[in-house]
């Protein structure tokens, strides 16, 4: 197979799902930051002011959770952590120096991506549950003041973790040259696949044959 041969990595529906997660995450993040600290309150003007930002934020969050859980269900089969992944993780120093000659062949996703998915899944679930507990005026009145106070802390901490993961994900996609086209066009080159996901590349070649 030629190095420039294109291999489908994500279908159109998978890419749409991914971008719906990204868009709703950004909307939820921007509207939520306005209430996290007075320094960011100006962000609420993007949504028509504080009142509208407060009304829209939980709907953005619920939509993001919905699309993200669908995404996890789609990719979970390829996100199972194996012994090969842990072996790959032991070479992190070499990976950061772009020395990949001695790395074990990986499947569709590497250990970093799999751990990031799990961290985001936990964060999103905590955001969803804590968000429901403090969602005014629909659900919050049904819970005690102490429970809601604790939920606010959990919500803020989970949002911080999720935002950190988001930044890491964007940086890693930019740093790994050729990755972004997988989510814009759905394909990667054979050379990219062989270099980053040798086991997955071999599987794709066998399927094509």
Helices (H), 76-144: 83-89, 92-96, 111-133
Q: Assess contact for 151 and 127: CB atoms under 8 A.
A: no
Q: 187: Cβ–Cβ under 8 A, 6 or more apart, which residues?
A: 6, 7, 8, 9, 181
Nearest alpha carbon to residue 76 among 68, 88, 64: 68
Phi, psi of 84 (to 5 degrees): -65, -40
Asked about 169 being catalytic, the answer comes back as yes
Kindly name the residue from 10, 57, 169, 195 that is annotated as catalytic. Answer: 169
Q: Which are the catalytic amino acids?
A: 169
């Amino acid at each position: 197979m030629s190095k420039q041969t294109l291999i489908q990595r994500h279908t159109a529906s998978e890419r749409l799902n991914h971008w719906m997660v990204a868009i709703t995450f950004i909307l939820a993040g921007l509207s939520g930051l306005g209430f996290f600290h007075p320094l960011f309150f100006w962000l609420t003007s993007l949504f028509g002011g504080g009142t509208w930002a407060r009304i829209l934020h939980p709907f953005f969050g619920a939509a993001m959770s919905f699309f993200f859980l669908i995404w996890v269900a789609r990719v979970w089969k390829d996100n199972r952590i194996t012994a090969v992944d842990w072996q790959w993780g032991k070479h992190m120093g070499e990976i950061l120096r772009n020395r990949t000659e001695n790395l074990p062949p990986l499947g569709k996703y590497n250990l970093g991506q799999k751990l990031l998915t799990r961290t985001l899944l936990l964060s999103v679930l905590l955001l969803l549950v804590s968000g429901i507990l403090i969602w005014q005026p629909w659900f919050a009145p049904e819970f005690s003041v102490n429970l809601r106070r604790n939920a606010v802390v959990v919500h803020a901490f989970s949002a911080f973790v999720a935002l950190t993961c988001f930044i890491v994900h964007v940086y890693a996609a930019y740093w790994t040259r050729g990755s972004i086209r997988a989510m814009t066009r759905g394909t990667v080159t054979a050379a990219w696949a062989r270099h980053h996901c040798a086991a997955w590349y071999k599987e794709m070649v066998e399927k094509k044959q």
